[in-house]
Structure 1
Amino acid sequence: MNVYEAIRTRRSIGRVKKDPVPREAVERALEAASWAPSHFNTQPWKFIVMTGEGRAKLGEGYALVAAPSFEGLSAEEREEKLAKERAKAFRSPVVIAAVCSPSDDKRALFAEELAASHAAVQNLLLALHAEGLAAIWRSGDPMYDPAMKRPFGLSEREQLVGLIYVGYPDMDPPNVTRKPASDKTVWIEQ
């Protein structure tokens, strides 16, 4: 698959089969992710790959984030809701937490470190697609809550930039259209 085909055909697919994903395929995709550009070559990304019961780490994070909103409920209701939060981590056989781990290089701005980490996630998504795998980049409020960092042992400086759920597709890719690049491009030639 060439890069243009990969870019045009990759879709976010959230419904995947429970079938195991070969570790080698994930490792190849992570290697591709590591070739993302970064200012001053800081390579500020790291990846936490969760499979099997290892996904419970993410489930713990979801529960920690949600727990304060369940105060005042009975113990039974609270545990039921926390179980649903923990189950979110098991929606795919592989979950990859992508982390921006900023370098100590004083020249590197945090915004650029984040941008580089996001570029690494895009490389990861394209490589997973080339491996015949489905993936979806999830984010949202729980990911940015400081409590989500605890199960992963992240420092205060580190930031989750994506939770990538990976597996074999269990649905057809959605039909998506894009506006032509010419609609969003300005050429300045003089």
Structure 2
Amino acid sequence: MDNMGEQRINWIKSRRSIGNLEAPAPTHNQIKTAISCAATAPDHKKLRPWRFIVTEGDARKAFGQALLEAAEAKAATEGEELSDKTRKKTANLPMRAPTIITVVTQMQEHKKVPPFEQMLSAGAAVQNLILALKAQGFSSVWRTGLLCNEPAVKAYFGVGVDDYVTAFVYTGTSPTESPARKPMDIESLISFKS
């Protein structure tokens, strides 16, 4: 491997999830660039079974209200009631970053492309998105959580019954330098068959 290839490998291996982010956030053009990279994900039959919804500014508060509505509905079905502290924390979840890119599926009927392939394509699109944001100097974290596919959240994003919210990609600038990643032992994850 040449030096440039090794640098690229090390750059990918340096990716870290950063939970709390601040401004500056990517511009609309930078987000479009990242999404153009996301759209190069493996996509059997070119179905493009994913969509990207960018939430920023005051729209994050409306998103927080959708999360709160989902949490209250979920708690009610379990015979529970949310505390004021939990209600406030839930409503403020989207305020942890200046921009959130929500990735949702748009599954399509196709005899050669089962739903699981389309879901995996959406996951690959998210990874490309995160790497493209990193390449432009931004940090991110891929979040989902127990509320992401509750009816109130799906309705907020216009996600169909048979589709999924696959990622909330929180993005912005890290207030601190990202810690170095420790080397991972991958031997137990690999098997070779010849």
The answer (yes or no) to whether the contact 1:6–1:129 under 8 Å persists in 2 is: no
In structure 1, what is the equivalent of residue 42 of structure 2? 37
Residue of 18, 22, 25 corresponding to 2:23 = 18
Whole-angstrom distance in 2 between the partners of 1:9 and 1:64:
37
The answer (yes or no) to whether the contact 2:25–2:171 under 8 Å persists in 1 is: no
Q: In the alignment, does 2:154 pair up with 1:149? A: yes
The answer (yes or no) to whether the contact 1:95–1:163 under 8 Å persists in 2 is: yes
In structure 2, what is the equivalent of residue 82 of structure 1? 87
The answer (yes or no) to whether the contact 2:34–2:133 under 8 Å persists in 1 is: yes
Q: In the alignment, does 2:70 pair up with 1:65? A: yes
Which runs of 5 or more residues in structure 1 are unaligned? Answer: none
C-alpha deviations, 1:148-177, integer Å up to 9, x for none?
A: 101112111210001010001112223333
Whole-angstrom distance in 2 between the partners of 1:99 and 1:148:
11
What is the aligned length? 186
- Aligned-pair identity in percent equals 27
Which runs of 5 or more residues in structure 2 are unaligned? Answer: none
Judging changes above 3 Å, is the alpha-carbon distance between structure 1 residues 73 and 15 closer, same or farther for their aligned structure 2 residues? closer
Whole-angstrom distance in 1 between the partners of 2:70 and 2:123:
23
Judging changes above 3 Å, is the alpha-carbon distance between structure 1 residues 168 and 105 closer, same or farther for their aligned structure 2 residues? same
- SS of 1:30's partner is helix
Q: In the alignment, does 2:165 pair up with 1:160? A: yes
TM-score when normalising by structure 2: 0.85
Residue of 123, 131, 140 corresponding to 1:126 = 131
The answer (yes or no) to whether the contact 1:57–1:152 under 8 Å persists in 2 is: no
In structure 1, what is the equivalent of residue 53 of structure 2? 48
What amino acid is the match of 2:34?
A: A
- SS of 1:141's partner is coil
C-alpha deviations, 1:85-140, integer Å up to 9, x for none?
A: 22111111100111111123232211111100000000001011101100000012
- SS of 1:49's partner is strand
Q: In the alignment, does 2:99 pair up with 1:94? A: yes
The answer (yes or no) to whether the contact 1:61–1:149 under 8 Å persists in 2 is: no
